[in-house]
Each structure stands twice: as C-alpha cells, then as structure tokens.
Amino acid sequence: MKRRTLLVVGVGAGTLLALAGGTLALLRPGLQDGRLSPAGREVFAAVAQAVLDTLLPADAAGRALAIQAHLGRLDDTIAGLPPALQAEIGELATLLASAPGRLALTGLATDWPQASTADVQAMLQRLRTSSLAVRQQVYHALRNLTNGAWFADASTWTAIGYPGPRSV
C-alpha cells in the first residue's frame, strides 16, 4: 500500500468514526428506567394524535389532557411487557426521536412536536403500505401500542360503541 493511499484511508476512517460518534452523542433515549423519556413522549404524543385523531376531544385543552393521560397509560403498558420487548420499544423510540432515524425510517422531515396530524397520518400510511417489512413492523408497533394503551382505559370504550364486558 502506498503512503498516500494509507493517509487517505486513515483520514476517511477518522472522519467516519467522528461522524458516527457525533451521531451517537446526539441520540436521545426513547425509554429511561422503563418509562418513556421526554424524546419518547414526543414521538408517541404525535403518533397518538394521528392514530386517535377523531377519538380525542376537539378542544385543545381537552386534547392535551387526553394525550397526557394516554402517555401515562402507555408507560404502564410498556412496563408490563417483557424486558426484551421493552428494549426493542426503547430502541425504536430512540431511533424515531433522532432526526436522521426519523427521516430514514419514516420519511418525516419535520420534528415530532412540529409535525401536523395530517403529516404524521400520511407517514403512518406510507409505513403501512411500504414494500419493506421493517417499515410495516414499525407501523404495527406504533399503532398497536397506541391503540392498546388508549383502549386499556374503560372510559374510552364508548367512543367505539363497546359497552364493556358482560356480567356472567
């Protein structure tokens, strides 16, 4: 190997490592101590507003309260899952909370708090109909976690006409 080639490869590898290290430093964890981190809450709040749009109160204050209550139930739902599944959800939330991860995986250029409900709904539709299985899995994970946590509260059942379990 020529000295010049060695120097070029060395500089290129050093630059790549610096970029990778810088990117890792910017990652915000999606879960902390088994609960959604602030970054994870941003992701799941935006997803909840998109998935549950017509089920949420129309007024902004009621909507914000409903989303906060939902995020609390989502924390409880995640806490009840096996540790391996919690780790996967944490990795997904971490990836989606980072701008490069969000853009690469979902195509959503706008940060979660600034994304409109319509933008997030369109992103979810792209994930759902993607030819890549990993994107479909992300869609199902986001939708199922959101719906599971939302409908875990009996007060939400009337919105879909479910009267609750029958007495035996």
pLDDT band at 147; cut points 50, 70, 90: very high
Q: pLDDT for 89-106, tens place per residue? A: 999 999 999 999 999 999
The domain limits of the chain are: 28-156
Q: pTM above 0.85?
A: no
pLDDT of residue 25: 45
User: What pLDDT does 148 receive?
Assistant: 93
SS3 annotation, the chain: CCHHHHHHHHHHHHHHHHHHHHHHHHCCCCEECCEECHHHHHHHHHHHHHHCHHHCCCCHHHHHHHHHHHHHHHHHHHHCCCHHHHHHHHHHHHHHHCHHHHHHHHCCCCCHHHCCHHHHHHHHHHHHCCCCHHHHHHHHHHHHHHHHHHCCCHHHHHHHCCCCCCCC
